[in-house]
Amino acid sequence: MTYGIEEEVFIVKSGKPSLESLFYLTLLLWRRGYSNYFRTASNFSHMPDLRGGLMGGVEISTEVCCDVDSLLGALVRRRKELAEVSSGLIVPMGHLFNEDAPTKTCGMHVHIGGLADIERAYNNLAHFLPLLALLTANSPCADGKYFGCSYRIHSCPFIGPLKNNPSYRFQDIIISKRLKTLEVRIFDATWDISRIKKLLEIIEVIVRIEKDIDFVPSFYAAARMEAAMSGYGKFTDELFNQLSGFCDISQDLFRLTPSGMLYDYYEKNGLNATLAALDNAYRTGKFEAVGFHEEKPSIAKIGIGIIGYFIPKLPYTVWKACREMGDVPV
């Protein structure tokens, strides 16, 4: 099998994402042009969330890897490259604390290729997704107020309960039209590499299951809503009991979510310290606020970013979108 990760993160100045993020992507492009042309992206707000600012998250992606350990190594290298060029705070979370913007979210997409039976793997992995989502659930707030375990999973229009068509793009897991992989889209962005490693190991076990697990859409919808709102509960506990028959896992991994830990820290330390702690966790693995200095975006850097990254990437961005929606022949 093959694996890949697309990771989205916010780069924040003055408490919110700025178009200066494009400048950092420009620097990545200048460093390794061919690779970073195809393995980076910029995301923007949609109506009506434009009132809170145009910029959303930025995306980095790994190369195709043949096992979980090499994939994690590739992700760590990609994070290091982004950290080296960014003077803004890198904030790995599903949705920012101080906004209410369903289209301005950041996720982690996991790709699995080379599957012997992609339909069975899709079905079996989909069955367990509400439980697996708790491993990375990481967006506890909207508009500065506590929402639940994941505002992004609950409210983002670009994911959602499964349709009858596994290639339909805006749902929690798809069969990618462009890459011909399973693409799992439900996961929130998170800083914790150890959790990501455990998630990938569990995914590997599930897609190797050699029997069809009964997927019930109504159960999935209920378990998904429970995971997004309250976290671990009746439906996800049932999924845990089923999954523990296939692999050795701890219930605490799902009960104690990144979202809960993050909100506790936010309540005690405030917004700026929490953003700084997330940035440090992304860069060093240590969740603690160090070296935070408030900075305003630079107009000059925004201009360089538009000219040096956004405009050169536009043709590929349009082509990629058309290909993923199925409007360009393979």
**193 is written with which tokens?**
């590499």
| DSSP β-ladder status, 141-142 and 40-44 | unpaired
142-155 tens-digit pLDDT? 999 999 999 999 99
H helices then E strands: how many in the chain? 13, 10
Residues 6+ apart with CB under 8 A from 211: none
Total-model pTM: 0.95
In a domain, 325, yes or no: no
**29 is written with which tokens?**
């492009």
Contact by Cβ (8 Å): 37, 309: no
92-145 tens-digit pLDDT? 999 999 999 999 999 999 999 999 999 999 999 999 999 999 999 999 999 999
Residue 81 predicted with pLDDT over 50:
yes
Amino acid identity for residue 103 in this structure: T
In a domain, 204, yes or no: yes
In a domain, 245, yes or no: yes
Residue 327 predicted with pLDDT over 60:
no
In a domain, 127, yes or no: yes
CA distance 87 to 95: 21
220-232 tens-digit pLDDT? 999 999 999 999 9
235-269 tens-digit pLDDT? 999 999 999 999 999 999 999 999 999 999 999 99
CA distance 92 to 58: 10
**42 is written with which tokens?**
């910029």
CA distance 18 to 10: 9
Q: Report DSSP state, residue 46.
A: -
Question: What Å distances lie between residue 222 and 129, 218, 225, 273, CA to CA?
Answer: 12, 6, 5, 35
With pLDDT > 70 as the criterion, what percentage of the chain qualifies? Answer: 98
In 92-126, which positions are buried (b, 16+ CB within 10 angstroms) versus exposed (e)?
Answer: bbbbbbebbbbbbbbbbbbbbbebeebebbbbbbb
Residue 329 predicted with pLDDT over 70:
no
In a domain, 217, yes or no: yes
Task: Decide: helix, strand or coil at residue 96.
Answer: coil
Q: Across residues 295-300, what is the average pLDDT?
A: 91
Instruction: Give the E-state strand segments of the chain in sequence order.
Output: 2-13, 16-17, 40-44, 55-61, 89-91, 108-113, 141-142, 145-146, 173-175, 182-184
Residue 319 predicted with pLDDT over 50:
yes
Nearest to 225 by CA among 116, 150, 281: 150
Cα-based torsion angle of the residue sequence 95, 270, 87, 300 in order, rounded to the nearest 10 degrees: 80
22-78 tens-digit pLDDT? 999 999 999 988 899 999 999 999 988 998 899 999 999 999 999 999 999 999 999
In a domain, 329, yes or no: no
What is the sign, positive or negative, of the torsion defined by CA atoms of 272, 278, 281, 282? negative
**298 is written with which tokens?**
């630079």
In a domain, 186, yes or no: yes
Domain range for 125 is 2-320
* CATH assignment of the domain containing 159: 3.30.590.20
Instruction: Give the E-state strand segments of 170-297 in sequence order.
Output: 173-175, 182-184
Residues 6+ apart with CB under 8 A from 30: 308
Amino acid identity for residue 43 in this structure: N
- Looking at every residue in the chain, the average pLDDT score rounds to 94
Q: Across residues 154-168, what is the average pLDDT?
A: 95
Domain count, the chain: 1
Question: What Å distances lie between residue 147 and 10, 66, 155, 166, CA to CA?
Answer: 19, 38, 11, 29
CA distance 161 to 172: 6
In a domain, 327, yes or no: no
Task: Decide: helix, strand or coil at residue 148.
Answer: coil
The reported pLDDT for the residue numbered 330 is 31
Residues 6+ apart with CB under 8 A from 119: 166
**137 is written with which tokens?**
């659930």
